[in-house]
Structure 1
């Protein structure tokens, strides 16, 4: 198998996620407990009981990274080395961690602070995000560009698939964009439950704070290619790309397409709270590419059984 790993992004979190993994798998429990030691609070207790905190960016990002890496660790004894890996936005930190660019404690500490910076930026510059479900993404971008030229603060943010483009910005300006797009024939416009207009210039202060935070960090060499949402290609300059990522659009669809093509991926495995990226993959890559996701004991056992038949 030529395996490509997918790592979940923010928004996939939910109360009680992976509680059964924590209860039953020592490798998973050890990973979460290591994260708790860095964070200074009981991460699993937060995940199990504190929905309000879990939905805050400052807490959600560390929880998702710890869960994603924890699942990977439970399968490390049987999983062949991936050919490449790709995460959605926050998920890039998980992808870089399993590839050896960050060590786990370093990643948790960075993501803890990144989440706090992004939450603060969202509070200072409130915004919202909307998914436009249409194949005519050129038209969506043209509308946003025309509105921006007229002084509206609204921007393309996430190219998730070739028929889903998320845009964000100041709430009132996003509402105007929604009206124009509906008039132009976009029938599905879905408001997202997020706390800020991520991957837009409204997050500039977060990027500035992260630049200071990362200035003294040193990173390892990746064991295999890690693909960037920002460039659509494998990371070259990790520092610069992670800073650009905060305010620049993500190109998950293009990055996934390039990863599968470049390293001949025939099996995609998603780690994290949901199967969202696996669903995106169904719309982006050839149907012959196998897709799996692991978020609980049932899906863990299914994947482990499959891997055991391949070894």
Structure 2
């Protein structure tokens, strides 16, 4: 029998009302969001549930997303879902760390709030940018980034045919032109507030590492797959360094999925807003069973898994 992985989406999948039906219907989900709300100096429930502009501001998005994902996961876990391994795309790695038992919920929520502030403030607005490159080989993209003057690199290996680049605005614009000249099907500038997962955020990663010194990582936890190396992590001593590196390193999502499949995972359950990771999965390996749980109505999919 194959293994099951629980995977969590990253920033960009958020929307007003995420996890509200879980909060309204299930005490276990409500307890997660109430706890997350209680450890911050912001109204997290208002950000998650009521129309507002803060939901798309990095420092607020990050704790709101992690709270919503873990609220949904708590009920899914209590409903009987058993996972062998966890992973999350970028921000979602913190949900994975909490779900696998490596980090406590209050610590995770406080840490991602700090992470969001550090990432938002490291590079002045307008000096960094990101772009999605469609239907172009990773080797071509990497070569263009390497040959472009300035600071630009691959930020996300999402799936075959979708790679994101990040860096200095001027360098990124030049790389986009070079990629189009090299035959890229589409190059789309992203509406983001910074050059995330680029070397420009290395100082933010180092500041996060200093913050993490006071955060407890459990000695014993279920394995998770990290973004920075796309490898299984079971050693608590590695976690903080990997989280530091994740801020300014490429997110190796496709490689992470492939590592889990190589380990015998054949069922993936995406927990959290949207269907982004399920869409990536169809391009990485459409033979895998993959469902997403974003709303209470999606819970019926769990029954299909067990059928």
TM-score category of the 2 structures, normalised to the smaller one: over 0.9
User: Match of 2:296?
Assistant: 297
Residue 118 of structure 1 contacts residue 203 of structure 1 at CA under 8 Å; is this kept in 2?
Answer: yes
- Secondary structure of the residue that 2:77 maps to in structure 1? coil
User: Match of 1:89?
Assistant: 90
What is the alpha-carbon distance in structure 2 between the residues aligned to residue 202 and residue 117 of structure 1? 12
What is the alpha-carbon distance in structure 2 between the residues aligned to residue 187 and residue 247 of structure 1? 27
What is the alpha-carbon distance in structure 1 between the residues aligned to residue 127 and residue 48 of structure 2? 26
Structure-2 change in CA distance of 1:124 and 1:215 (3 Å): farther
User: Match of 1:27?
Assistant: 28
User: Match of 1:126?
Assistant: 127
Q: How many residues align?
A: 303
User: Match of 1:242?
Assistant: 243
Q: Deviations over 1:260-287 (max 9, x none)?
A: 211x1121000111110111111112x3
Q: Deviations over 1:55-100 (max 9, x none)?
A: 1110001011111111111122233431111100111110010111
User: Match of 1:181?
Assistant: 179
Give 5+ residue unaligned stretches, structure 2. none
Give 5+ residue unaligned stretches, structure 1. none
User: Match of 1:215?
Assistant: 213
What is the alpha-carbon distance in structure 1 between the residues aligned to residue 73 and residue 253 of structure 2? 21
- Secondary structure of the residue that 1:218 maps to in structure 2? coil
Q: Deviations over 1:138-170 (max 9, x none)?
A: 1111111001xx3x2211111111221110112
- Secondary structure of the residue that 2:109 maps to in structure 1? helix
What is the alpha-carbon distance in structure 2 between the residues aligned to residue 305 and residue 38 of structure 1? 35
1:1-311 equivalences under 5 Å are: 2-123=3-124, 126-147=127-148, 150=149, 152-235=150-233, 236=235, 237-262=238-263, 264-285=264-285, 287-299=286-298, 301-306=299-304, 309-310=306-307
- Secondary structure of the residue that 1:266 maps to in structure 2? strand
Structure-2 change in CA distance of 1:73 and 1:126 (3 Å): same
The Cα shift of 1:14 comes to 1.2
After TM superposition, the score normalised by the length of structure 1 is 0.92
After TM superposition, the score normalised by the length of structure 2 is 0.93
What is the alpha-carbon distance in structure 1 between the residues aligned to residue 203 and residue 125 of structure 2? 9
Residue 126 of structure 1 contacts residue 170 of structure 1 at CA under 8 Å; is this kept in 2?
Answer: yes
What is the alpha-carbon distance in structure 2 between the residues aligned to residue 265 and residue 215 of structure 1? 33
The Cα shift of 1:50 comes to 4.5
RMSD of the TM alignment (CA)? 1.7
What is the alpha-carbon distance in structure 2 between the residues aligned to residue 74 and residue 117 of structure 1? 31
